[in-house]
Amino acid sequence: MCEEQKGFTVWFTGLPCSGKSAVADRVAEILRAHHLKVERLDGDVVRQSLCRDLGFSREDRNENIRRVTFVAKLLTRNGVAVLTSFISPYREMREQARREIGDFIEVYVKCPLEVCMQRDVKGMYQKAIRGEIKEFTGISDPYEEPLNPELVLETDRETLEESARRVIEYLKKSGYLGHHIKIQDQA
């Protein structure tokens, strides 16, 4: 293990089914393979535990991000690489997370709505279109694209490995990771 790991939070944001979790999981695998302390905070998992009491109104979404920001801030300041994957549709809350956490890298996982809908194995988009799900981001609730993210991944044009590699390279270039971090392609 490295002598002193610098904590940081990589905040993956984007539409539902854009690839946030897949890329964050792959980056986590790469970092763990180098014996770094890594924590994954994923929207679906957090909603089942830390934020079980919240719905999907704007107020509840903001509270969800406030709670996650608090956890990410604690982990970051204790030398952990935090990889979040949350739709986090509102710029204001992402900016608040940036200010609160400090060592914050916003990664916009950009993917056309049509492609996200094709990837949706749970059928959530179709339910939202039929009106069965209220306040669904991208259909009946807005997604505010980041204005100045540190990185934009176009998951409809890049492979999972290419996206993960771009995140790792950005972290190395920015001084969050040592240049010894190598990426072994998945078999």
Q: pLDDT per residue over 125-167, tens digit each?
A: 988 888 888 888 888 888 999 999 999 999 999 999 999 999 9
Name the least confident of 2-11, 75-84, 175-184: 175-184
Active site residue 88: yes
- pLDDT at position 54 over 80: no
pLDDT at residue 184 in the model: 65
- Which one is catalytic: 88, 140, 163, 174? 88
pTM of the model: 0.88
Query: What structural domains and CATH numbers belong to the chain?
Result: 8-173 (3.40.50.300)
- pLDDT confidence band for 52 (50 / 70 / 90): low
pLDDT at residue 18 in the model: 95
Per-position DSSP letters for the chain, written without gaps between them: --SSPPPEEEEEE-STTSSHHHHHHHHHHHHHHTT--EEEEEHHHHHHTTTTT--SSHHHHHHHHHHHHHHHHHHHHTT-EEEEE-----HHHHHHHHHHHSSEEEEEEE--HHHHHHH-TT-HHHHHHTTSSSS-BTTTB-----SS-SEEEETTTS-HHHHHHHHHHHHHHTTSS-TT---PPP-
- pLDDT at position 1 over 50: no
